[in-house]
Structure 1
Amino acid sequence: MTDSTIAPRPVPHRPGKPSPSPGGLAAAGLTVGYRTRSAWGRGARHPVLADLDLTARAGELTVLLGPNGTGKSTLLRTLCGLLPPLAGDVRVAGRDVAEETPAVLARRLAVVLTDRVDAGLLSARELVGLGRHPHTGFTGRLTAEDHRVVQWALEAVGAAALAHRPAAELSDGERQRVLTARALAQEPDVVLLDEPTAFLDVPSRVALTVLLRDLAREQGLTVVVSTHDLELALRVADAVWLVDRTSRVHTGAPEDLIVSGAVAAAFDAEHLAFDPLSGSFGLRRAARATVTVESPPHLGPLLERALAREGLTALPGPAGEEPRISADEHGDLTLRGDGAARTTRSFHELTRTVRTW
């Protein structure tokens, strides 16, 4: 992935809504987890993450990362009020979420969860229109202003062309865009999304993640996203909340957490290692040998990666000495050994040959 793949896109101006409060989302002394009932009626506390002080600022995309089972979904559900905190509080623009009525909270905070939504016979536009419910009052009728907001939300997520499609017939990527539009139609100050890129292909994941960043910046929203797309998140996010295996939460810009070693400590495994220079993961393989190589810059990293998969470390050879493996500007790959040379344009053929050394 290059930086050109995550270029910002214009987002239409939101009609009739003042800029959200700069307060964003904040948690102070927050402990999240579960309570279980006992025979005496008093619930036992089962904390998952404890004593958290977190801030997600307006105009920024904040990404929640961590290995499976570390409590990310529990934290997100507590932040949006679906689970009560075991201790501490959550505030939107300085107001305690626990003290807001459901109607008021729905106008301040929108949520997109991983739970499947049964849209029945609704069209995509009608599904997005449900986001206006906190604003319609007792009758539930949409006014001309409500319809303008629904249209804006569809256009903001690039789903205007889907408006009249049956929501039940949308693809996973299209459905995620429409559900995001429904959240935007609430005109909230804060949007929380749990795994919005799950089940999407790579281009759709990139498009939706960049869209959320653009919405945060251009609409002044506070956007918090839980995701497993680590490398994409580290490229796009303004801020990161990283839950490690010890239930500690690290916060900062992606680069802060890379430099501190928190990303590597949280995700490195026996056969996988995070490279802070490239911001990506690579196989952790014990090198069985070194091999001299020569390659143009655009093929060098690919050649090194292919050889690393075979347990070989690529090194430049001494000046004047012919390299064991070389690549040229045309993509020809040459392997030299036993007084002979074999040339191919296929990395697959090259690595198959290397295995027989």
Structure 2
Amino acid sequence: MSSVVKRFFTSRPPFYEVIPKKKVMNRILFDLDAKHSFNKLYPVYESIYKKLDGDGEAEIPAKITANDLMVMKRALETVRVQSHSTNKHLVSLENSLVEYAAERGNNDAVSLLAYEALLGNDEEDKQHAKKLISKLLEMKHPLTVKLSGDLCLRNKMNQQAEQFYLDFIALEDDTFLASEVFKQLGILSFQKPDLIQARHWFSRSVKTGPLDKVAECHYYLGQLNGFDPKRSRYHLEAAASQGFKESFKQLGFLELNQFGNVSKATEWFKLGTELGDVDCVVGLFDCFMKENKFKMAYGAYTTLKQNEPAFEHFTETRTKSIALMNENYTPLKNTMANIEKFQQSESTAVNDNDRWNI
């Protein structure tokens, strides 16, 4: 059967079309301290991928351990996080890698599958999952402790979640997983609110995890360091560099109100506006009024009119600015001014003609 015909009858595209480029994968694998290069792992990825919708087992060499399979899984997860996009075929491949790793005795994989079963509908699977989780908790298996905290958090059992997270930190505190736990502890402290403790946990998270996974922590730190504008700006810029939407508004108002940099503030507000943040349109209005760009301010005003809740708050908080804008520019006022200019020019032309008795 030709490759074209095979593709027609297959629900998935060829593997080479979905897997990221070699350079990207090698960098990620290096960051994860993988024992094997992408060249060595590519055939394993491909073999498992081809068996996603078929019968039989994938061909996995004996030298590829259960831990290697989990590293391969984390590499794909990293791609998903860094690209801010999800490829359903690669997600299926991730899940299959976890299953193969669990079959080979990797406790992290067993824990992931157990919690997945716990959230499912099959009662028999749930009971088996509970037994596995109990055994893993007795062993003080770090990932199981962390996932127990996540499950409690999901069920709004915040106090129990916090205790599980603290138990996890006692087991390991210098891994990428620890960075995630520090973040959750920071959020829980922020909600209490215990802001000093929240700043402590968020700071530990950003020191432990890669930038692409701690953007939210930088955002929180930007707010918690409001007393220090320069430090606040540093954290908010770190969050913005990873596309964290809420940071653009904060950066814009920080530049405008604390540093008086209207140009820089305008840049941040424009970026936020492109991401659909209506508060950034308000920020643009403030910037345009600051520079007496009344026509552009009116454009922002018109955009805000389309969002009723935001427009109501906007008009309540910026009465003087709106009045000043209306004094200097509205389409009707501009039209009347143009008519007056035209009439004056016509009058001048008539007077010039009268000199010649025409």
TM-score by length of structure 2 reads 0.26
User: Whose strand fraction is larger, Structure 1's or Structure 2's?
Assistant: 1
Between 1 and 2, higher relative CO (CA 8 Å, sep ≥ 6) is seen in: 1
